[in-house]
A = this chain, B = another copy of it.
């Protein structure tokens, strides 16, 4: 059965881009302001202040017209120099990205390999740091999107702080606004995120906040840079402006989103994500499926092993797409065809997750898995009913 084109309703359950609320879409549908106007400068000022609230920091936050990878690069080119040794915790596709970026700019990258699906052991980080006193940075993901695992950010930061003066560099692209990551309180030196995740916006904006300690190390960087050289941003910031043309429309929309975060506070946002994630995991388990992550579950995304009854695992993603116009993510690299990933970060509620579980049940059943229809969604419903807050 094909989707009837009249009734096709596209639903995105990928770990970014995530759905955009209607009011935000309306804002995005308005003409962009000019970026050298008072109207925009007022917005930018508020956005920067509210980003500090979101990052839980007193330090300034930078915005880039870029994807999250751009802000990862900005971090590397501003904080490190060619030949600097850095430790990358590499437990997935995005751990690998830190390795690639570091290498592209001449850093000496040591990978601390972590089996896909597992979080790094804090003791392994300690061991690596004790073995090499030269590390200038420890780079990792707060939430490794490819495996749906959270690394223990707080513990890692503690270990670095107590044993080493390396910078703690956190890719929080799918963690900011999902998991509690108080930057100042935990002593994180660089925290990176993007617009198309928990912030409910289209892609195109990346964010970076740097600790005082990181700010001081900036001048030592010997990597050539221009677009991402923060000194240009600092200069422009004296006039409340940005160095290059900012993504004005996205920033106007971000302003609305951030105001909502400020109004509602962060704690209920983290609770909300934890609840949706746990309900989703319960639903998946009740279907008789296995989670691909081995504990340390991300509240941004859930990775599910394709059951052995479905030999061509990539069909789960394509059937959801072709039959229900639902976008979920497949597995990457060695998990390709073996895993599918369901996102619950950003503009989702429990009704969304229940509808996704229904669609997953229908899909798996259709593809030959021994699914008892209604069982997974029932377990998730039960969890949501029992866990109001």
Contacts and interface: CB of A to CB of B under 8 A. Distances in A.
A305 interface: no
A288 interface: no
A379 B385 contact: no
Contact of A377 (B22, B372, B381): B381
Interface in A84-138: none
Given A324-B349, A351-B324, A351-B326, A272 B377 contact: no
A389 B352 contact: no
Contacts of A272: 4, 6-7
For the side of the interface on A, what is the size category? 35 or more
A384 B362 contact: yes
A203 interface: no
Interface string A249-262: 00000000000110
A382 interface: yes
Interface in A1-17: 1, 3-11
Contacts of A355: 351-352, 354-355, 358
Contacts of A236: none
Interface string A1-43: 1011111111100000000011000000100000000000000
Contacts of A348: 7, 9
Given A352-B355, A358-B355, A378 B374 contact: yes
A220 interface: no
Contact of A373 (B10, B365, B381): B381
B389 A269 contact: no
A268 B4 contact: yes
Max chain B C-beta neighbours (<10 A), residue from A6, A9, A351, A385: A6
A3 B349 contact: yes
Contact of A264 (B6, B359, B361, B379): B6
Given A351-B324, A355-B352, A5 B381 contact: no
Contacts of A347: 6-7, 9
Nearest to A29: B29
B351 A9 contact: yes
Contact of A354 (B21, B358, B382): B358
A48 interface: no
A361 B351 CA distance: 11
A373 B362 contact: no
Max chain B C-beta neighbours (<10 A), residue from A3, A4, A29, A355: A355
Instruction: List 3 A-B pairs, minimum CB-CB distance, nearest first.
Output: A374-B378, A355-B355, A1-B388
Given A1-B389, A355-B358, 18 more contacts: A4-B268, A4-B272, A5-B260, A5-B263, A5-B264, A6-B347, A9-B21, A9-B351, A29-B29, A326-B351, A355-B355, A358-B358, A358-B377, A362-B385, A373-B385, A374-B375, A374-B377, A374-B378
6 contacts: A1-B389, A4-B269, A6-B269, A374-B375, A377-B377, A377-B378
Interface of A: 1, 3-11, 21-22, 29, 260-261, 263-264, 268-269, 272, 324, 326, 347-349, 351-352, 354-355, 358-359, 361-362, 365-366, 372-375, 377-379, 381-382, 384-385, 388-389
